[in-house]
């Protein structure tokens, strides 16, 4: 099973600051990684797919990067609505797996 390890577990920042979230994968998955945002009480929502592509409706301040085993989600200038939990997910191999999440909270 491919294991996804997200860091940090919690990130405390202020609106307007830059957020950098990491997802390390236990084996090479090429670019087959996506990022999801989950707000309290809601279903996850696709933010980035195939490592670098913004989903429809994702603001330009979100940027995905990486390939192979190391991936990054960067939010350039945090807005109040960005504070949520973010998950990475790999579709390279069965079983499909998720990271444990990074909680982005307001400082």
Partner 1 sequence: EVQLLQSGGGLAQPGGSLRLSCAASGFTFANFAMIWVRQTPEKGLEWVSAITGGGDRTYYADSVEGHFTISRDNSRNTVFLQMNSLRAEDAAVYYCAKRSSVASGWIDYWGQGTLVTVSS
Q: Which residues are near partner 1 by CB under 8 A?
A: 32, 34, 36, 43-46, 49-50, 55, 87, 89, 91, 94-101
At residue 80, the 3 state secondary structure works out as helix
State in angstroms the smallest separation of the CB of 44 from partner 1.
6
Which residue, 14 or 56, is less far from partner 1 as judged by CB?
56
Which residue, 11 or 97, is less far from partner 1 as judged by CB?
97
80-41-21-75 Cα dihedral, nearest 10 degrees:
-30
Which residue, 14 or 94, is less far from partner 1 as judged by CB?
94
State in angstroms the smallest separation of the CB of 45 from partner 1.
7
State in angstroms the smallest separation of the CB of 69 from partner 1.
18
Q: In whole angstroms, what is the distance from residue 75 CA to residue 14 CA?
A: 12
Q: What are phi and psi of 45, to 5 degrees?
A: -130, 135
Q: In whole angstroms, what is the distance from residue 49 CA to residue 1 CA?
A: 21
């Amino acid at each position: 099973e491919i294991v996804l390890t997200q860091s940090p577990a919690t990130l405390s920042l202020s609106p307007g600051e830059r957020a950098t979230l990491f997802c390390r994968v236990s084996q090479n998955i090429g670019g087959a990684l996506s990022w999801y945002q989950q707000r309290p009480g809601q279903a996850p929502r696709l933010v980035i797919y195939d490592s670098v592509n913004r989903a429809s409706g994702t603001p330009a301040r979100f940027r995905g990067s990486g390939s192979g085993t190391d991936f990054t989600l960067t939010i350039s200038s945090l807005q109040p609505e960005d504070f949520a939990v973010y998950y990475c997910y790999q579709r390279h191999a069965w079983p499909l797996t998720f990271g444990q999440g990074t909680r982005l909270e307001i400082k």
